Amino acid sequence: MLLLLLLLLLLLPLLSHFFPMLSSALTCTQGAIRIVGTTGYSGRLEVCNDNQWGTVCDDFFSTFSATVACRQLGFNPAGSRVLSSRSTPNGRGTIWLDNVRCNGNETTIFNCPKNLLGNHNCNHGEDVGVTCNRGKVLYNLLTQPSP
Ligand SMILES: [Ca+2]
C-alpha cells in the first residue's frame, strides 16, 4: 500500500504534465497584467482575471491609464504612452476591460474607473497597448513575464 502511494507520488508530476487539470494549473495570477510584445516594454496590454489572460479595449484609454499600467508592471511611470489599437497586434480570448479611465494615481489598472470585467462593446481590433519607460524599478510583485 505504502509502495503504491510512493509510486503514485512519483508518477504525479508526469501525470500532471499530460493532464494539466490534475495540478489545477494556474495560467496567471488574478489581477496581474503583462505586455505582450517583442521588447517587453511595449506591446499589447493584457490582464489576468478568472485564470485567463485577456485584453483591454482602447475606449477612453488615455496616457493616465498607460501610466498606471506601466507603474503596476514595475516600470518608471514617466513617459508612459498609449500604443494605439492600430499599432497593437490583435489579441485573443476575453476582452476583460473596457472604458478604462484612470486618473493616473491608481496603484493598479483594476482600481481605475471602468466597466465590470468582461462587460464591453469592443472587438479585438480595439485592443490597446502601452509603451513604458524602459527603466524598471523594483517595487512590484504582480509582474509576470510575457510568453
Ligand atoms: Ca466601450
The Cβ-side half-sphere exposure at 74, using a 13 Å CA radius, reads 15
Of 3-17, 61-75, 131-145, which gets the smallest average pLDDT?
A: 3-17
The predicted-structure confidence for 57-113, as pLDDT tens digits, reads as follows 999 999 999 999 999 999 999 999 999 999 999 999 999 999 999 999 999 999 999
Whether residue 68 is contained in a domain is answered as yes
> Is the residue at 142 inside a domain?
no
Q: Is residue 101 part of a domain?
A: yes
Task: Measure the CA–CA gap between 132 and 138, rounded to whole angstroms.
Answer: 15
Q: How far is the CA of 1 from the centre of ligand 1 (A)?
A: 59
pLDDT band at 137 (very low <50, low <70, confident <90, very high): confident
Query: Has residue 103 been placed in a domain?
Result: yes
CA of 33 to the centre of ligand 1 (A): 20
Per-residue pLDDT at 13: 55
Q: How far is the CA of 37 from the centre of ligand 1 (A)?
A: 24
- Burial readout 86-123 (b: 16 or more C-beta within 10 A, e: otherwise): eebeebeebbbbbbbebeeebebbbebebbebeebebe
Cell reading at 42: 511595449
- 116 domain-assigned: yes
| pLDDT mean across residues, the chain | 87
φ/ψ of 46, rounded to 5, equals: -130, 150
Please tell me the total count of domains within the chain. 1
Which residues sit with Cβ closer than 5 angstroms to ligand 1, an ion? 59, 98-99, 121
pLDDT at 135: 80
Q: Which range of residues forms the domain containing residue 76?
A: 23-134
Asked if residue 69 is part of any domain, the answer here is yes
pLDDT of residue 21: 53
Please report whether residue 110 resides in a domain. Answer: yes
CATH number of the domain enclosing 73: 3.10.250.10
> Is 36 contained in some domain?
yes
- 32 alpha carbon – ligand 1 mean position (Å): 22
Ligand 1 center from residue 126 Cα (angstroms): 10
105 C-alpha to ligand 1 centroid (Å) = 22
Compute the distance from residue 7 Cα to the ligand 1 centre, in Å. Answer: 53
